[in-house]
Structure 1
Amino acid sequence: MSDDPGNKANKPDSDPGDTPPPKPKRRLPRWARWTLEGLVFVAALLAVQAWMGPDLPDGEIPGMAVETIEGEQLTLGGPADEPTVVVFWATWCGYCDLEMPWLVDLVDDHRVITVAMQSGDAATVRAHMRENDLEKLPVINDPDGQIASSLGVNVTPTFLFFDQTGRVAHSTTGLTSPWGVRLRMWWMNRAAE
């Protein structure tokens, strides 16, 4: 070895045997990572739903007299004999096309009212209902979106769940599941007993 001070071989800290091996990084078990990722995903999904959700009026919503495209008189909001789900949809909404068929089955067991939002005149909405075998659903036409706007709805599909007092107990927007809607309706029926 040389006595040259610039020579790294002369420095005691350059000996490879003196440096400790790097500590291995601790990794979470796979199940813990998946659980954590799932929780982050659910939190993000709930945050987006809350952000997209309607800006609902507080308390009971006064009953609003409306007429279906078939001429039946209904009341949106206000006290009712049973909980009600009001679904805002549009003929041009792809998600709505996925959800409307199972709403036909839901109408057998629960009070369901649908509102066709900015979908044209009554004849256009009626034709859409007929073409898609949805005639069983009561439909209110909201061609200019005034009904939706009065309830803070600006996204389709939007589900508003009214309890028997006329208060919006739950709401959701976007794609939802039949069992999720049935569960909310079951819960509101149980709460009313």
Structure 2
Amino acid sequence: MQIKRPKRKTVMQFMMVILAIFIIRAYQQQDLTIGMVPSFTSHTLTGELMNSNPLPDQAVLIHFWATWCPVCNLENDNIQSISKDYKVLNIAIQSGTDLDIQTHAEDNDMKLDNIINDQSGSISRLFGVKGTPSSFFVNTKGQIQFTEVGYVTTLGYRLRLWWAGL
């Protein structure tokens, strides 16, 4: 029995796709804020006042997403799962009015008490966000320990938040 090996051309194409993904990710992450988390305060869709202050005993996730983003919609269940155990600031950018976002959130089983509408784009500019979804993992000292642009698994979120909370 002879094992069929992939042709060199197929391997090279696969490597080019991987390289392209890394280049795109590097571009999207080049202007993201690092160091201390920028300070901001905003109201959620339910009117609750939320801020970017760190918690003394737990890491915080600041997550930028959009209603029109298919990757964000795919990742929604991961964020909802994480928000049961961690403080999550779920910031909607370029997604319309509060009512538009609330309708989207209700249709997709999202919690409303941690969603902030960044309609003006001021918070996303503060963090240097160019692409969605973008996630910032803030440690207990208020420093951004990890950043991610693109899809992250629930396990990936949990591990980064656990590490940032040490």
Smaller-chain TM-score bracket: 0.7 to 0.9
Contact preservation (8 Å) 1:162, 1:168: yes
Cross-structure match for 2:102: 126
Cross-structure match for 1:55: 31
Amino-acid identity (%): 31
Q: What does 1:54-133 correspond to in 2, within 5 Å? A: 55-76=31-52, 78-81=53-56, 82-133=58-109
Unaligned runs of 5+ in 2: none
Deviations 1:45-75 (A, max 9, x none): 4343222115133421342111111111111
Deviations 1:71-118 (A, max 9, x none): 111112x43232111110111111111011221111112121100101
Deviations 1:110-169 (A, max 9, x none): 121100101111111111111111125610001121110111002111111111122111
Cross-structure match for 1:16: none
After TM superposition, the score normalised by the length of structure 2 is 0.82
Cross-structure match for 2:141: 165
Cross-structure match for 1:6: none
What secondary structure is seen at the aligned counterpart in 2 of 1:113?
A: strand
What secondary structure is seen at the aligned counterpart in 1 of 2:22?
A: helix
What count of residue pairs does the alignment treat as equivalent?
157
Q: 1:183 aligns with which of 151, 159, 166?
A: 159
Contact preservation (8 Å) 2:37, 2:138: no
What secondary structure is seen at the aligned counterpart in 2 of 1:159?
A: strand
RMSD of aligned residue pairs (Cα, Å): 2.3
What secondary structure is seen at the aligned counterpart in 1 of 2:35?
A: coil
Q: Greater relative contact order: 1 or 2 (C-alpha under 8 angstroms, separation 6 or more)?
A: 2
Determine the C-alpha separation between the residues in 1 that align with 2:46 and 2:68. 21
Contact preservation (8 Å) 1:63, 1:166: no
Determine the C-alpha separation between the residues in 1 that align with 2:60 and 2:150. 18
Quote the offset at 1:42 in angstroms: 5.4
Determine the C-alpha separation between the residues in 2 that align with 1:39 and 1:135. 40
Larger radius of gyration: 1
Contact preservation (8 Å) 1:88, 1:148: yes
Determine the C-alpha separation between the residues in 2 that align with 1:54 and 1:139. 26
Quote the offset at 1:41 in angstroms: 6.3
Please list every run of at least 4 consecutive aligned residues from structure 1 whose deviation after the TM superposition is greater than 6 angstroms: 36-41
